[in-house]
Amino acid sequence: MKKANIFFAISLLLMAGCGSKQSNDDLIIVDVSKSYPDKELILQDFMDVEYIALETTDEFLNQGVVMAIGNKIMLVKNNMNDGDIFIYNRNGKAVRKINRKGQGGEEYLFLHEIVLDEDNDEMFVVDNMKRKILVFDLNGNFKRSFNVADADMCINTYNYDNGNLICYIPYLETGNYSNIIHSCHLIISKKNGSIIRNISVPVNEIKSTVLRNGEDYAVPNPDAMFHVIPNHGNWALMERSSDTVYNYIPENNNKKPLFVRTPSIHSMDISEVFLIPSIFTDRYYFFRTLKLDFTLGYFPISALMYDKQEDTLFKPIVYNGDFSNQNRVYMVSRPVNQEIIATHILEAYQLVEDYKNSKLKDGKLKEIAAKLDEEDNPVIMLVKHKK
């Protein structure tokens, strides 16, 4: 029997974007069927940038995939599923390495997400292969575990407050269209995963993202759609079957429409386009459009940006001002927390080459690059809200 192929595919290629704008009483209307012009920006003009060189030792060799950052430490892993968690201080000094990968009840199979809670000296490992969140102290000692609402998958998990997490339970889609479970945004207890609050996003009809071709089918990776986004102390909530993205305000447990897409996702029968928010700054809202078309072997993605000051949509082209050449910064990362909206990995060998070729301007990054070896761990670039 032919085995179905599931492509959890997402392309990082940014193609020609499309969009439109209007605003009415602060509600932004985005038309995903129209094209808009490019707009070039220098990252440092509207964001703060911090560089952290990860210390390199025989025990601390890694690919610099940032999982969580606090005031004192940061958690880093590799792209491969080796189970290693590298703990660095905020200056990039190696602290310790933890690995609790295994089949046991106090071990994880996969590091899908890690939420850092420095106040309680805990980290929450979201392991969707085990359908659990496992809690460890910062020395790697197991403390407890729990599942979330009996769900198979929990994504976009963040530190909500001292006692709770906020997360999203996605649709579970397979080749069988009848096997679709409704999604929800939840605030859950850090102690046992119990549901503190279900934040409802109105959905009239579930929109499937399954693309069928005989017995084969493709579906976008749920992790590539950011359903929970930190937004200046509030939380932007996205549901792919809804035309509206809401801003949830914890202070009064209220949600307000933030922007709405047009045409409706339910009116697009062929090659639907999903609007995915990614980064919200003081002035700019960055989005992506994902076209439900797997003809090229991936789902095409376009960049889109709403300029609140000009009340207009553009295709953003953002450059890192610490480079003398036009070094692109793609504003598509999942935000780390309310302060750090994006992380980028700068490979040591590339920085060494850029330094030799005088492509770095005077400043912190150039100082770091001057001391690097090509075999060193990456330098992490943090993109933060301006203070």
**What structural domains and CATH numbers belong to the chain?**
8-384 (2.120.10)
Q: What is the pLDDT of residues 67-116, one digit of tens each?
A: 999 999 999 999 999 999 999 999 999 999 999 999 999 999 999 999 99
CA 156, chain centre distance (Å): 7
Instruction: Measure the CA–CA gap between 241 and 106, rounded to whole angstroms.
Output: 36
pLDDT score, position 270:
54
Task: Determine the distance from the C-alpha atom of residue 40 to the mean position of all C-alpha atoms in its chain, rounded to a whole number.
Answer: 23
Q: Can you give the pLDDT at residue 214? A: 59
User: ∠ CA 122-124-125 to the nearest 5 degrees?
Assistant: 135
pLDDT given for residue 49 in this prediction? 98
Structural contact between residues 384 and 341, judged by C-beta atoms closer than 8 angstroms: yes
Question: pLDDT value at position 267?
Answer: 84
CA–CA separation, 375 and 65 (whole Å): 16
Residue 150, Ramachandran bin (φ over 0: left; ψ between -120 and 50: alpha; else beta): left
pLDDT at 172: 57
Other CB atoms within a 10 A radius of the CB of residue 182 amount to: 12
User: pLDDT at position 18, please?
Assistant: 32
Cα distance from N-terminal residue to C-terminal residue, the chain: 59
Tokens of 119: 């106040």
Residue stretches of the chain with pLDDT short of 50 = 1-24, 174-181
Q: What is the pLDDT of residue 3?
A: 33
Q: Could you count the other beta carbons within 10 Å of the beta carbon of residue 354?
A: 20
Task: Report pLDDT for 221.
Answer: 72
